[in-house]
Structure formats: structure tokens, C-alpha cells
A and B are shown apart, each in its own frame.
Chain A
Amino acid sequence: EAGVVQSPRYKIIEKKQPVAFWCNPISGHNTLYWYRQNLGQGPELLIRYENEEAVDDSQLPKDRFSAERLKGVDSTLKIQPAELGDSAVYLCASSLVSSYNEQFFGPGTRLTVL
């Protein structure tokens, strides 16, 4: 069974440019998470979806970040415009039910903003 798929794996952009990350969760997993991990830090939750509904986006910087999960499967996280401080690894994870107990992580997208 395929794990959580993310693309691209790496992205380098200049500041003020837009960028988008894509995540395909494990088939059948209702809950999808986007995390940001800064260098030397643990992941921080940006947004959590239950099916297509964003149930926790309190940590998402809504002035420049947006996310969607159409049809409750794939998800896209967008930053527009990107800032230097957005350089980080963006991790997607999924779990079978609305629980943090069994999260499966993707490989992440490493974003560098120049």
C-alpha cells in the first residue's frame, strides 16, 4: 500500500513568489494534517482536515497561507506571497479516523525562499 505522497520534494523560489504543495493521503484516511518544521525544531500543526472540512486552522497564517482539500482526498497548501521566514519543511500526514493516534507522515517538501 502506498504511503502519503507529497510533491514536490524540493522547491526553491524567490521571495514574494507564490508556491503550492500537494499531498495525497493514504487511501481511506479521513484526517489530513499539514505541518511546518523549521530547522532544528519539531513539526508545528498548520491545519487539520476531517474529510473536506478544516477543523483546526488556528495556527495557519491566513494572510498568506491557504489550503484546500477538495472531495476530501488530496490537499493543496499554498503560500502567496512567500517570505524568507517561510523556508522550512512542509509535512503532510494522514490518519484513518479523527484521532492523532495513528498518523502516517509523508516525506515532506523542503522549501527554500531566497
Chain B
Amino acid sequence: KNEVEQSPQNLTAQEGEFITINCSYSVGISALHWLQQHPGGGIVSLFMLSSGKKKHGRLIATINIQEKHSSLHITASHPRDSAVYICAAQRQGGSEKLVFGKGTKLTVNP
């Protein structure tokens, strides 16, 4: 079983829909990262959070430390939001290595 699991693997939505991507992890973490990867490979960091909730524009990230679960929400989705969204757990202690999920491929149709 992977240490970081994301669901769904693929998600197709219509423009304007509310999107939720889920991430569960099994390791002790000091932080949880959400990243966006567009076709062509470039990765952009969206959020780093260790508790509660963060909001940036139409993106919202939440984390429940007790349940070891995080969600990424996109409100009023747009075709330009189409990308792969990756959850990464920053391990507690030691090297604090990032452990990545496999990603969720989001396609938003006009």
C-alpha cells in the first residue's frame, strides 16, 4: 500500500463545477503539500499546510491531522484548471523527505 493515496485517479468536470480531490496518508507528517503539474512536466507548488485550511483564489486546501486526510477544492472550475494535481506528504523528522501520491488528472470541459 502506498504511503500517500489520492482519489480519484481521473476526474472530468464541466466548467463551473465544484471539484474535490482527496488525499490520505499513512506516515507521520510535518506538512502536506499540494502541487499542480501541467502537460509538459512543470510542477508548481499550490499549498503547504500542517493544520486547518488555506485559500488562494478559487483553490482551497484542508487537512485533518487526526484522520490523516487532506482535500483540495476548486470552486467555479475552468478549463485552464485542467492539470494533474499531486499530493505530497512531508515526513516527520530525519530528512523530512517528500512522499508523493500518484496524482489526480483533472479535465475541465468548456
Contact = CB atoms under 8 A, between A and B. Distances in A.
Interface of A: 37, 40-45, 48, 55-56, 89, 91, 93, 99-108, 110
Interface of B: 4, 31, 33, 40-45, 48, 86, 88, 90, 95-98, 100-103
A89 B100 contact: no
B63 to A, nearest CB: 15
Contact of B45 (A91, A99, A104, A110): A104
B42 A56 contact: no
Nearest to B91: A100
Q: What is the predominant secondary structure among interface residues of chain B facing chain A?
A: strand
Given A42-B4, A42-B88, A100-B90, A105 B100 contact: no
A89 B95 CA distance: 23
Contacts of A42: 4, 86, 88, 100-103
Contact of A100 (B4, B41, B97, B103): B97
B42 A107 contact: yes
Contacts of B86: 42-43
